[in-house]
A and B are shown apart, each in its own frame.
Chain A
Amino acid sequence: MVRRIILSLVLALYYISPSAATEFKLEEIAPGVFAHPGRTALMDHENDGDIANLGAIVGNDAVAVIDTGGSLIEARAFIAALQQATSKPIRYVINTHAHPDHVFSNGAFVGQGVVFVGHKNLPRALAARGAFYLESFRAAMGDALDGVVIVGPSVTVETATTLDLGGRKITLQAWSAAHSDCDLTVLDEQTGTLFAGDLLFLRHVPIVDGSLLGFLDVAEELAKIPAARVVPGHGPLVAAWPKALDDERAYLTRLTADLRAAIKKGDTVADAASAAAQSEREKWRLFDNYNGRNATAGFAELEWETP
């Protein structure tokens, strides 16, 4: 009933103006497993940086949060929704990698007994990029960025580790360079729910910020995880596994093939970046925002492999 009231209030305001108020959705996608769908968009003032999917797993004793979001505004809404979902305390905050839409809300979760967990390379990545991100996102986010600080992990994962939430174990796995050079996945053993972070993109064009070939290799390894369902870092919350990887692998494979052909032909990086993987354009959202960049980085990577 309460929910319905809030919803109708939201809708009423929606009709006054589409952006007068927005809602924060947190869905229970499996028993004790919650996920929030971020928008498929770039972080900006209007969406408060709420563009990545977030998650939470609730055990008998404690909660593990998987990624925190892109601003303190989003964090407050996330925490409020979590408090409605469970009275258990948050013990772990896990970051799947260093990108701002996944870590900018970390500061709101800092508190006694809260342990931040990430890939062994996450501190290095945050050191190299954190200050730059805080500065560069100010233009797009304005005051929605207020209060955001970079919070790194106090516990890092070298290869894999298991966390106990009380009668519920979750497995964290650190991957070699793929989407980024600090990708971490979380598997809830009890329900077989895999939080893939940005190792999986659905509908939102994949972003390569680590290694193109590494991404393809990791996607192949990822597919072997015996999960029942997956939550991608971006795109629809729950998808069938491992079929959910198909489109992403097709895109990365196309991009690799086009770039290799361009390099062989002697094309310049600028020419290759504007032409590679264009046959995939209609299949993805935000394609024009990221494909040129993927192709540029992929070109610079693949240039080293030809004789």
Chain B
Amino acid sequence: MKIVAPRRWRPAGLLCVGLLLGALDGALAQAPAPVDPWPDLARDLFQGRAIANDDLVVLEAPVRAEDAAIVPMTLRLKAAGLRRATLVVDQNPMPMAAAFAFGETAGVTFISTRARVNSYTNVHAVGETGDGGLHAQVKFVKAAGGCSAPAVKNMDEAASHLGQMKYREFKSAESGHREAQIMIRHPNNSGMQMDQLTHLYIPAHYIDKVVVRQGEALIFSMEGGISLSEDPNFRFSYAPNGAKTISVEAHDTKGNVFKQQWPIGDAS
């Protein structure tokens, strides 16, 4: 037995309208939202100070987010005098993804992390030099399609390994530098979703501060929010100071403190 029932009838005359609307939908989807939140964001985050658009901080972000929950982004610091760099996903509910501060002698030349991208959005990287000068780059990122969501994929797994960390070293492409990666298990829950059964909001629970040191010297610290992906992940280069250990201290919004340290290997 095979049943064929009418699904939807569109009179032929209206079809053109339908197609046109479809095309318009497509066009809208290609453009950033009509209201640009950046002027307000820049004022709130940087107290309305002047921001130059140049290449002191280079932002690498994909043209299209493959996975809304994990969008790789890299900040390349092109001037030794940069002390801070902030990553902002303009259209996200909490746009400030990560504010990095670098140790004065840390020699960080890049830092890669992963962000959530909720919708079509501009992403800003804003660097700050020691004298307070601000330098920005912007990239437009298309939202991921299909059933991709900026949510945790495997919530039980994320919760059961809370605070676990991992450290890796890589061969650095730059002479005199080391390259390393710090990974922290954390769901980084936004807390903005309502539980459909209890009608209570799921409490926010995310990593809000990370400090990474070689010996006693700061490599970088980060203040972050829910726009950072679950299991916050940082890959970076730094100038070694001879210290034998690298250490991480991470704080989350429930007051948990996670600490770990590792011996620095002889990779160079």
Query: Which residues does A use to contact B, with CB under 8 Å?
Result: 3, 6-7, 10, 13, 16-17, 19-28, 34, 42-46, 48, 50, 73-74, 77, 80-81, 84-85, 99-101, 121, 123-133, 135-136, 139-140, 142-143, 150, 152, 177, 180-181, 207, 209-211, 214, 266, 268-270, 273, 289-290, 292-293, 295-297, 300-301, 303-304
Contact = CB atoms under 8 A, between A and B. Distances in A.
Contacts of B3: 3, 25-28, 34, 81, 84-85
B5 to A, nearest CB: 4
Interface in B164-207: 166, 168, 170-171, 183, 185, 193-197, 202
Contacts of B9: 20-21
Contacts of B143: 136
A28 B15 contact: no
Nearest to B1: A28
Given A126-B196, A132-B149, A296-B67, A268 B155 contact: no
A304 B67 contact: no
Contact of A304 (B2, B11, B156, B183): B183
A95 B196 CA distance: 15
Contact of B2 (A3, A177, A300): A3
A263 B22 CA distance: 41
B154 interface: yes
B62 interface: yes
Contact of B29 (A77, A135, A140): A140
A231 to B, nearest CB: 15
Given A177-B154, A297-B67, A269 B72 contact: yes
A300 B114 contact: yes
Contacts, number: 198
B154 to A, nearest CB: 4
A97 B23 CA distance: 31
**Nearest 10 A-B pairs (CB), nearest first?**
A292-B66, A24-B7, A99-B147, A28-B1, A293-B66, A77-B7, A139-B29, A81-B5, A177-B154, A293-B67
B153 A297 contact: yes
B12 interface: yes
B146 A207 contact: yes
B227 interface: no
Contacts of B72: 268-270, 273, 296
A73 B8 contact: yes
B6 interface: yes
B235 interface: yes
A74 B145 CA distance: 20
Interface in B68-86: 69-70, 72
A304 B166 contact: yes
Contacts of A293: 66-67, 144, 146, 148
Given A127-B194, A300-B70, A132 B150 contact: yes
B151 A129 contact: yes
B4 A123 contact: no
B189 to A, nearest CB: 8
Contacts of B155: 121, 124, 128, 181
Interface in B187-234: 193-197, 202, 229, 231, 233
A139 B19 CA distance: 14
A142 B21 contact: yes
B196 A150 contact: yes
B112 interface: yes
Interface residues of B, number: 61
Contacts of A273: 66, 72
B99 interface: no
B195 A127 contact: yes
Nearest to B230: A300
Nearest to B179: A266
B5 A21 contact: no
Contacts of A177: 153-154, 156-157
B118 interface: yes
B152 interface: yes
A260 to B, nearest CB: 14
Contacts of B154: 177, 181, 210-211, 214, 301
B72 to A, nearest CB: 4
A20 B25 contact: no
Interface string B130-165: 000000000000011111111111111100000000
Interface-central residue, A20, A84, A125, A140, by most chain B CB under 10 Å: A20
Given A123-B196, A152-B197, A210-B154, 10 more contacts: A3-B4, A10-B6, A13-B12, A26-B4, A42-B145, A129-B151, A132-B151, A211-B153, A269-B114, A270-B62
Contacts of B235: 268
B28 interface: yes
A124 B195 contact: yes
Contacts of B109: none
A233 to B, nearest CB: 11
A296 B66 contact: yes
Contact of B7 (A16, A48, A295): A48
B237 interface: no
Given A211-B154, A293-B144, A297-B67, A142 B7 contact: no
A295 B168 CA distance: 20
